[in-house]
Amino acid sequence: MSKVSGKTQAKAHDAVSTVERAAIVLSAFRQSWDFLTLSDVVEYTGLTKPTVFRILSSLSAEGLIFQNEANNTYGLGFLNLRLADVFLSHQLLRQFALPIMQKILDRLNENVVLGVRDGERTYDIQVLESTQVIVPSQTCGLAVSLHESVAGRALLASASAEDRASYFKNHKGKLATLPGGEKKIKQYLRQIEAVGYASDSGGILLGGHTVSKTFANGKASLSISFPLARFSSDLEKMSIKLLEEAVDLLAGNLPD
Amino acid sequence: MKVTYLVLSGYNKSPALSGEERYQIEGISNAVALLRRFSRTSSRKTLTELASEAGMSNALTRRTLETLAQHDFIKCVAPDEYELGFGWLSLADIRRRQVGIRQIAYPVMRALRDRLNETIILSIRSGFKRISIDYVESSQSIRRTAQSGFEAPLHIGSAGKVLLAGLSANDLEIYFDRVPLIAFDNSGYVEKNLLRTELEAIHKCGYSIAYREITPDAAAISAPLYDHHGNTCAVVTVSLPADRFSDRLKAQCIRELLKGTLEISTHLGFSVINEQLCP
């Protein structure tokens, strides 16, 4: 009896560790926008070639991976679109923000980004991309610690003192490695609080500038991002004005 | 009930799978089975619901969900309550950048050409026009030649009409307001009401047939490609010399074309039951 139970446990363990490896394989596709070869995936994941091959074949049968038979490379499959679509369908903030974001895009033709806070991280859930030739590359769904992005810092600035203190406590080690450390971030947050928006260059958006403002009681942010080369004080002022109008409009539209 | 539909293609056909390999595949199948239980109408699920719907034990379901949550693919929103995670957004974003419609459609178009040995053309809408963006030609001695970049108004030819039939009522009115419905050879005007009736029929049956409409000696059958929102995003056409267009070949072309376009649409994320991820 105990032998059977041991086998069952081993089977369950195998199955779960395969899910772990499959998740690692899928995550490898975040490293590049190109199709990947089997060797690329092996290199990104550190798993063995036969394991990666088996997992890619299984994921391909499930629709999570798309195999380009012409050159034997792998990309992401259609099921990713459908799962993302299901995820987005219950993001109420997005439904309210989307038409307003579209109006900002029509006015400025610069990237307009909706971010949401989830615990101590922020995720972009919608990027309306500018049609200009040079645009910032912004991928949705990537987890970013609040202090690492302009939008995240705006969210952190609008958090309660208790919430902020807990964040600083949990990220002490990480913040200490930054130039200027925790002190500089705190100074930055005070500045955001004073003016009501965040506006900064660089950070995780290398070579870009972002203006960001929070709404929905600090649960979400609206940002406008553009290449640093296009920065001007007029563009920054216009971005701030449009974001302020958008946030006012959202405050009137959002359910309690 | 154990989920068995998931690994029907590819891997499980191999007789050389060891027990361990089977478990590995089962692990992935189970995980995807759980993910597929979430839908637009049912975006939050309890552990018990997920386990029972996927035919898995509560313990295995919990461990699988916890593993997926570590990678942001699942989010635990309350004790034993789950939603899909943010992780799908980045993969969907990358997927959109990775795979162009041409790349997805081409292998199916080639297979379609091989089965019918007639010319297959892929077109998209650009404003009020239809533009051919790719093609695979027939190898027969008398064949319909094709050309990338060929443009035609939407109200003429089978491909254009499929794209027109896929427009929203509002966009269709804008088209009628702005585009004079002139016949391709400038011989006269296309009657608006007749065109409306034709578009409704195309919408209903899912394909369009044109006989000597743009090219005097060619016939064509077109069917739409749908994206993951169920919108018409492109069109595939079988085009052939008009004098080869027998009833028998027509029926075969329709059958094969609809099969092929559904396959491409599925790769684009279209689901026949768009609201429900379950197969």
How many residue pairs from chains A and B have C-beta atoms closer than 8 A? 196
Residue B162, in any domain of the structure: yes
Contact A85 B32 (CB under 8 A): no
B27 with B162, same domain? Answer: no
Question: How many domains, chain A?
Answer: 2
Select the residue of B8, B28, B270 nearest A22 (Cβ to Cβ): B28
Both A110 and A144 in one domain: the answer is: yes
Position B20 scores a pLDDT of 55
Find residues 240-279 of chain B whose CB sits inside 8 Å of chain A: 266-271, 277
Same domain? B116 vs B83: no
Give how far A183 is from chain B: nearest CA, Å: 31
pLDDT of residue B268: 84
Closest by CA to A225, choosing from A75, A215, A213, is A213
Whether residue A15 and residue B60 make contact (CB cut-off 8 A), yes or no, is yes
> ipTM of this predicted complex?
0.81
Given a contact cutoff of 8 angstroms between Cβ atoms, the answer to whether B86 and A42 are in contact is: no
The answer to whether residues A68 and A180 belong to one domain is no
Q: Are residues B68 and B28 in the same domain?
A: yes
| CATH, residue A29 | 1.10.10.10
Determine the pLDDT at residue B85: 95
- Between positions 188 and 247 of B, the ones with CB within 8 A of A are 228-229
> For residue A89, is pLDDT > 50?
yes
Asked whether the beta carbons of residue A19 and residue B107 sit closer than 8 angstroms, the reply is no
B195 and B79 share one domain: no
CA distance A222 to A176: 28
Neighbours of B47 (CB within 10 A): 17
Question: B126 with B250, same domain?
Answer: yes
Are B38 and B91 in contact by the 8 Å Cβ rule? The answer is no
Domain stop point among B67, B91, B115: B91
| Pair A71, A97 in one domain | no
Residue B272 included in any domain: no
Could you tell me if B14 lies within 8 Å of chain A, comparing CB atoms?
Answer: no
Q: Which residue, of A50, A77, A104, is where some domain finishes?
A: A77
Flag whether residue A75 sits within 8 Å of chain B, measured between CB atoms: yes
Contacting residues of A for B60, CB less than 8 Å apart: 12, 15-16
Q: Do A125 and B28 touch (CB under 8 A)?
A: no
The pTM assigned to this predicted structure is 0.70
In this predicted model, which residue has the larger pLDDT, A174 or A131? Answer: A174
In a domain, A86, yes or no: no
Q: Does B69 touch chain A (CB under 8 A)?
A: no
Q: In this structure, are A107 and A221 located in the same domain?
A: yes
What pLDDT was estimated at residue B146?
Answer: 84
Q: Where are the beta strands (DSSP E) in chain B?
A: 44-46, 74-78, 81-84, 119-126, 129-136, 151-153, 208-211, 218-226, 232-241
Rg (CA), chain B: 23
A170 and A115 assigned to the same domain: yes
Q: Quick one: B109 and B81 in the same domain?
A: no
DSSP for B41-72 reads: S--EEEHHHHHHHHT--HHHHHHHHHHHHHTT
Based on the fold, state whether residues B18 and B140 are members of the same structural domain.
no
Q: Does residue A69 have a pLDDT over 80? A: no
Distance CA A74, CA A41 (A): 9
- pLDDT tens by residue, A207-230: 899 999 999 999 999 999 999 989
CA distance, residue B115 to nearest chain A CA (Å): 19
Which residue among B11, B94, B96 sits closest to A30, beta carbon to beta carbon? Answer: B94
Same domain? For A144 and A196 the reply is: yes
Model confidence band, residue A202 (pLDDT cutoffs 50, 70, 90): confident
Which of A14, A48, A77 is at the close of a domain? Answer: A77
Amino acid at A181: G
pLDDT for residue A1: 36
List, in order, residues 6 or more apart from B259 with CB less than 8 Å away: none
Find the distance separating the first CA and the last CA of chain B, reported in whole Å.
Answer: 15
**Nearest chain A Cα distance for residue B64, angstroms:** 6
CB A10 within 8 A of CB A2: no
Q: What is the pLDDT of residue A6?
A: 60
Query: B185 and B119, same structural domain?
Result: yes
Using a CB-CB distance cutoff of 8 angstroms, which residues of chain B are in contact with residue A128? none
Whether B211 and B154 share a structural domain:
yes
Domains held by chain B: number: 2
Instruction: For residue A67, give its domain range.
Output: 2-77
Residue B273 placed within a domain: no
Which domain CATH number covers A121?
Answer: 3.30.450.40
Please count the CA atoms within 13 angstroms of the CA of B196 that sit on its side-chain side: 9
Q: Is residue A82 domain-resident?
A: no
pLDDT attached to residue B17? 54
Within-domain flag for B206? yes
User: What Å distances lie between residue B180 and B132, B156, B197, CA to CA?
Assistant: 21, 12, 18
Q: Are residues B44 and B166 in the same domain?
A: no
Q: Do A82 and B277 touch (CB under 8 A)?
A: yes
Q: Within the 120-139 window of chain A, which residues sit less than 8 Å (CB to CB) from chain B?
A: 123-125, 127, 139
Assign B92 to helix, strand or coil. helix
For residue B172, tell me if it sits in a domain: yes
Same domain, A147 and A106: yes
The CATH number of the domain where B49 resides is what?
A: 1.10.10.10
Q: Is the dihedral of CA A223, A224, A225, A228 positive or negative?
A: negative
Gap between the Cα atoms of A143 and A138, Å rounded: 12
Please give, rounded to a whole number of angstroms, the shortest distance from the CA of B170 to a CA of chain A.
Answer: 18
> Kind and range of the H or E element at A206?
strand A205-215
The residue out of B91, B115, B132 marking a domain boundary is B91
Residues B119 and B170 occupy one common structural domain:
yes
Q: How far is CA A21 from CA A24, A34, A42, A45, A53, in A?
A: 5, 21, 11, 9, 12
Overall average pLDDT of the A32-55 stretch: 92
Q: Does residue A43 sit in the same domain as residue A145? A: no
Residues A216 and A187 placed together within one structural domain of the fold: yes
Q: Pick A2 or A63 by higher pLDDT.
A: A63
**Rounded CA gap, B198 and B204, in Å?**
10
**Cα B21–chain centre separation:** 32
B83 min Cα distance to partner chain A (Å)? 8
Average pLDDT over chain B reads 85
Chain B within 8 Å of A77 (Cβ-Cβ)? yes
Q: Does residue A96 sit in the same domain as residue A36?
A: no
Domain boundary among A77, A107, A135: A77
Phi then psi dihedrals of residue A44, to 5 deg: -70, -35
Last residue of one domain, picked from the residues B37, B59, B91: B91
Alpha carbon distance A48, A64 (integer Å): 20
Residue B32 in contact with partner chain A when CB distance is under 8 A: yes
A99 and A203 in a single domain? The answer is yes
- pLDDT at residue number B11: 35
pLDDT over 90 percentage in chain A: 67
Distance of alpha carbon A62 from alpha carbon B179, whole angstroms: 44
A135 versus A56: which is more confidently predicted?
A: A56
Cα B94 to Cα B112: distance, rounded to the nearest angstrom: 28
Cα B17–Cα A53–Cα A87 angle in degrees, nearest 5: 105
Query: What pLDDT score does B240 carry?
Result: 93
A2: pLDDT strictly greater than 80: no
* pLDDT given at position A33: 76
Asked if A59 has any chain B CB less than 8 Å from its own CB, the reply is: yes
List the single residue in B with minimal CA-CA distance to A126: B89
Q: What is the mean predicted confidence (pLDDT) over A119-135?
A: 89
Q: Is residue A222 part of a domain?
A: yes
Whether B250 and B208 have beta carbons less than 8 Å apart is answered as no
**A197 plus A97 within the same structural domain:** yes
pLDDT-flagged residues of chain B (< 50): 1-15, 274-279
**Residue B158 sits in the same domain as residue B226:** yes
- pLDDT of residue A13 exceeding 70, the answer is no
* Domain of residue B78, residue span: 11-91
In a domain, B169, yes or no: yes
According to DSSP, the residues that pair with A225 across neighbouring strands are A111, A210
